[in-house]
Every structure is written in C-alpha cells, then in structure tokens.
Amino acid sequence: MGTIAAVLGDITRQQVDIIVTAANESLLGGGGVDGAIHRAAGPELAEAGARLAPCLPGRAVATPAFDLAPVRHVIHTVGPVWEDGEQGEDDVLVSCYVESLLLAEELEAGSIAFPAIATGIYGFPAERAAHIAAMTVRSLPIIDEIRLVAFDEQTHALLRDALAEPVEEWCPTCGEKAIPLLFGRPVEEARQAADAGSVALGGCLLPEDGTEPRWQCPRQHRWGESRRDQRRSQVALHDAIAVTLGEDHGRSVP
C-alpha cells in the first residue's frame, strides 16, 4: 500500500505519472483547473480530447499529456453539475474517482494527482465533495501514490481532515465496536489483520439469504451497510491492513 496525501498547490506543477482534469463532455478544455491543464499541456490536448468526446458525467478517458511531460497522461473526467444533491450527484462524483483510478491502474501509473472535481464551476459543496473524494480513494488504494490537490487552504483542510478521519462502526444490536468483515479467500495481509483481530474473516461463501454483511461485532452479530455508506467498510478494511503491516499512510503533505 502506498500513500494518499492532501496537497496544496497548482496541479499542473505536480510531478506524477497522471494528472486528472475536471473536464466537460466536449473534452475541448474550459475554465478552472481544466483551463490551466489545457494551457500547460498545449493545443494538442484539446485535439486528442475531441477525438474521444463526448465523455459522459462519471466517466473517464485518457490522452497523452503532451507539454506536461514528464507527466505521461491526462485523465479527463466529467463531474456532476450540482443541483440539489438528490439527482445522483454523489454517485457520479464517486464514479469519477473510481473510473480514473481504474484507468490509471490499466496505464500502469505509479502516481496520480486529482483536483477537487466539480467543486468550482459545477458547484458541488466543498465539504461533501472532499468527504467523497477521500473515502473513495481510501476505499480503492490501487495506485502507489495518490495526491488530492487543493487550490485553496479551505479545500486543503477539508481534504486533510477527511483523509485522517477514522472509520468507526458500532453494532446496531448490542452497541459493541465492530470490525470489517471479509468474505472470500483472504490475501496474506488480510489474514495477518485477521490474526491481529482487526478484520473478521467470513469464509469463502456469502450467506445464502442474499445479504452481504460488511461488519461484525465481538458477539458475532453481522450486518451490511446502506448504499450511501458502501465504501466505509472497504476503507476500514484497508486501514486495518495498513495498521497491521505497520504502514504510515502519510496522508497529509503541505
């Protein structure tokens, strides 16, 4: 497992394999961070984007990074335009981070920098977006170095706090503190975390009643989580493994 950090600065100055831009569906460039990235990468970025457009909200596509080299690729993802929070905006924002991370993994990137997608022109509330960004990348730490780049102090503080926030869960039946529950064959690290008592192993088969429990308490009660909270147990799992392995996430960098 690598590092996930909140960084304050200009994303075009980040020395990483992949920079993510908060694009619009045309991929031709625009204002905000997208404008800065297009200016730094040169006009070929818009030409390459046009060949892949349109890109729907929540999706991500990659192009070369042109003049941003040694950055190898720009990933263009389109965030949700904020309406009232009831139009699926959260899910679209989660999808921006997930799709970008999966694409970066396919491109064998060792490092990636994200801006605070959708929090500028698209109007997504900053605190809610920071929480979603942090929880989503913590639930899917498949790139060695992940930077969440903030352009202002307030966003930096929100991201830093969201990255450091412990994920805790208590049993709805008895109130005891829970640990994340893992089904399937555990990788060696998960087995070690289970030996240390910070992860519960559920065995190879999911319960036949169709439920997918994600948490377990010391009295063996098991329960799932709401769709909205889906990623919390995943984050708890990765955190427990990191602690077992003695890794320091180093989650905040000035």
SS (H, E, C) 8-77: ECCHHHCCCCEEEEEECCCCCCCCHHHHHHHHHHCCHHHHHHHHHCCCCCCCEEEEECHHHCCCCEEEEE
Find the binder of ligand AR6 among 4, 118, 159, 240 (CB under 6 A): 118
Can residue 247 be called a binding residue for ligand AR6 (CB under 6 A)?
no
- Of 6, 33, 60, 112, which lies in the binding site for ligand AR6, with binding defined by CB under 6 A? 33
**Site track 13-32 with ligand AR6 (rule: CB under 6 A), x = hit:** ---------xxx-----xxx
The footprint of ligand AR6 on residues 176-235 (CB under 6 A) is none
Min separation Cβ 80 and ligand AR6, Å = 9
10 lies in the site for ligand AR6, by CB under 6 A: yes
34 is catalytic: yes
Q: Site residues for ligand AR6, window 154-173 (CB under 6 A)?
A: 155
DSSP structure class, residue 229 = G
CB of 70 to ligand AR6, least distance (A): 18
* Cβ-based nearer residue to ligand AR6, 63 or 216: 63
Active-site residue, from 34, 90, 91, 161: 34
Interface with ligand AR6 (CB under 6 A), residue from 50, 121, 142, 243: 121
Kindly give the residue spans of alpha helices, DSSP state H, lying in the chain: 32-41, 44-52, 89-106, 126-139, 153-164, 188-195, 230-244
| Per-residue burial over 134-164, b = 16 or more CB atoms within 10 Å of its CB, e = otherwise | bbbbbbbbebebbbbbbbeeebbbbbbebbe
Contact positions toward ligand AR6, by CB under 6 A? 10-12, 22-24, 30-34, 36, 79, 115-122, 149, 151-152, 155
